[in-house]
Amino acid sequence: MKRILYIGLLLILSGAANAQNRFPRPDFESGYQYPDITYAVPNEAVWTSVDILLLVLLMGIVAWAVLRKRTRKPILWVSVISVAWFGFFRSGCVCSIGAIQNVALAGVDSTYILPLSVLLFFILPIGFALLFGRVFCAGVCPFGALQELVNLKNYRLSKSLTTVLGMIPWIYLIFALLYAVTRSSFIICRFDPFIGIFRLGGDLGLLLFGALLLVAAVFTGRPFCRFLCPYGALLSLFSRVSVRKISITPQSCINCDLCRNACPVDAIRPPYENKVKESRPQGVRRIVGYLIILPLLVLAGAFLMRSVSSDLSRAHKEVRLYDLVMQHEANPQGAPSLELEAFYGQGGTVEALTAAYEEIQGDFKRYATGAGALLGLVIGFTLIGLSVKRTRKHYEIDRAACVACGRCFNYCPQNMQNREETTARTPQ
């Protein structure tokens, strides 16, 4: 609503400005000069400061709700505010997810100026994850908040399927870093499925993809957050070692299974006592085998990515231009494209373009090798994670997967009993 009012106000102001010039100005002969008419526009620095303050405030509210009060209602209000402000009013920018690329580029390019606001949007949620877990994902991120608000059912997906899909955010993150540090493309921003929804327009394919994700979010918890979001993958890494740990109840768990059924992202692990079918030595040997295979996976990933680095480099505009120029030089009779006309019209030379091409190819070989090694690590650690079977006597929260949505709190009988006792002790 605020965005609609804001747009309406701008239309009224622009209409008033046009109304002032509907008739020709009088032609004075005295040499009178009309003053330039300027219109005040909102200061973007002010909006950015509000964004950062609101980001910290909302994450603080979520941390207070899940760690102190164990209640979900404040998180729902945070979700509504986030979708309204960061989503529709601010059109999804600045985005902590897309800030990954800016930070990565600034790390390799000293000439790139990283805006302070982008750096803060990248660092602050990570800092909160180290302290309190993934409170940013709970409802402060407009993408996660939008999915949370439309979620009605929680159909559980199989463990094998979620394991395979759970590797996609890491793969997405690795390729986003690769294309950012090679100055090729910001693919996270380019293929963002929700920006078109927040901006009420855009690429039709991405709009349909975003709508499909929202439909899926109605029936299963947060498909984008779980199976696509690269920033969520980073936050899951830091939340593993968070200082404060989210717990379902301060009381002893009675293993009722209600919390696990309520969790939309399958982040609550059931008891695993006396269910291990293999002996401990067998399990240890399997994990050791994976640890031996891990370096081979890393080397294989590095080799494969390096071997296809030339194909990957075609995402860079200079490489595409080089291919066009080489084709034109080999067959100059064909009609030149607009890119070729611009290249030759600006005095570009084949020698300078070739030097730039070779430099880009070198960058891609180097960075693609590192990206492949990381892909091998992701696959290896996923296999190791499947092999580790720690004994659990009660239901526990998987801190890496938990998005701090608070759904489990209201389903726990121990929490309900604790609230009833607190209410009974409170004087009327």
**Statement to judge: residues 175 and 223 lie in one domain:** yes
Type of residue numbered 209: F
Choice among 95-109, 262-276, 391-405 with the minimum mean pLDDT: 262-276
The SS3 of residue 284 is helix
Residue 290 lies in a domain: yes
- Together in a domain, 401 and 261: yes
Adjacent-strand bridge partners of 269 = 396
Instruction: Evaluate whether residue 31 is within a structural domain.
Output: no
Q: Could you tell me which residues come within 8 angstroms of residue 306 by beta carbon, excluding any fewer than 6 positions away?
A: 365, 368, 369, 372
Q: Residue 73 domain-assigned?
A: yes
329 domain-assigned: yes
Residue 225 — very low, low, confident or very high, per pLDDT cuts 50/70/90? very high
Residue 230 resides in a domain = yes
Residue 276 has pLDDT above 80, yes or no: no
Q: Are residues 262 and 291 in the same domain?
A: no
3-state DSSP assignment of residue 269: strand
- The yes-or-no verdict on residue 19 having pLDDT over 50 is no
Cα(121)–Cα(90) distance, integer angstroms = 14
pLDDT tens for 97-108 read 999 999 999 999
Residues 135/64, Cβ–Cβ less than 8 Å: no
Residue type, 122: F
Helix axes 142-150, 73-82, angle to 10 degrees: 120
- The rounded mean pLDDT for the chain is 85
pLDDT value at position 22? 37
State the pLDDT at residue 89.
93
Cα separation, 265 vs 174, whole angstroms: 23
Using the predicted structure, report yes or no on whether residue 416 has a pLDDT greater than 80.
Answer: no
**Over residues 65-82, mean pLDDT:** 94
What is the number of domains present in the chain? 2
Confidence at residue 178, expressed as pLDDT on a 0 to 100 scale: 97
Element (H, E) at 396: strand 396-397
CB atoms under 10 Å from CB of 131, counted, come to 16
Same domain, 214 and 318: no
Both 289 and 171 in one domain: the answer is: no
Q: Is 103 exposed, middle or buried (0-12, 13-18, 19+ CB in 10 A)?
A: middle
* Predicted pLDDT of residue 273: 55
Closest CA to 140 of 89, 92, 99, 83: 83
Say if residue 210 is in the same domain as residue 351: no
Same domain, 244 and 339: no
* Residue 110 neighbours by CB distance under 10 Å: 7
Structural tokens at position 254: 């009675």
**pLDDT confidence band for 274 (50 / 70 / 90):** very low
Task: Tell me how many degrees the CA angle 95-98-100 measures, rounded to the nearest 5.
Answer: 120
Phi, psi of 268, rounded to the nearest 5 degrees? -115, 120
Specify the pLDDT at position 296: 94
Q: What is the mean pLDDT of residues 164-175?
A: 96
3-state DSSP assignment of residue 332 = coil
304-346 per-position pLDDT tens digit: 999 999 999 999 999 999 999 998 888 887 778 888 889 888 8
Task: Give the pLDDT score at 34.
Answer: 46
Q: How far apart are the first and last CA of the chain?
A: 40
Percent of residues, the chain, with pLDDT higher than 90 = 60
| Domain match, 183 and 237 both | yes
More confident residue, 177 or 255: 177
Report the 10 Å Cβ neighbour count for 122.
Answer: 23
The model carries a pTM of 0.84
Decide if 33 is inside a domain: no
pLDDT higher than threshold 90 for residue 280: no
Q: Is residue 237 part of a domain?
A: yes
Q: Does any domain span residue 30?
A: no
Task: Provide the residue range defining the domain that includes 253.
Answer: 45-273+394-406
CA distance 146 to 212: 13
In degrees and rounded to multiples of 5, residue 3 shows phi and psi of -65, -40
Lowest mean pLDDT among 40-44, 65-69, 409-413: 40-44
Mean predicted confidence (pLDDT) in 79-91: 94
Cβ pair 293, 380 in contact under 8 A: yes
* pLDDT (average), residues 147-162: 91
On whether both 133 and 233 belong to a single domain, the answer is yes
Question: Which of 110-119, 263-272, 339-348, 408-417 bottoms out in mean pLDDT, i.e. has the lowest?
Answer: 408-417
Check whether residue 157 and residue 198 sit in a common domain.
Answer: yes
> Taking Cα atoms as reference points, which of 330, 325, 328, 315 lies closest to residue 353?
325
268's enclosing H/E stretch is strand 268-269
Mean pLDDT over residues 195-204, rounded?
A: 90
- Asked if residue 108 and residue 223 are part of one domain, the reply reads yes
Do both 319 and 237 map to the same domain?
Answer: no
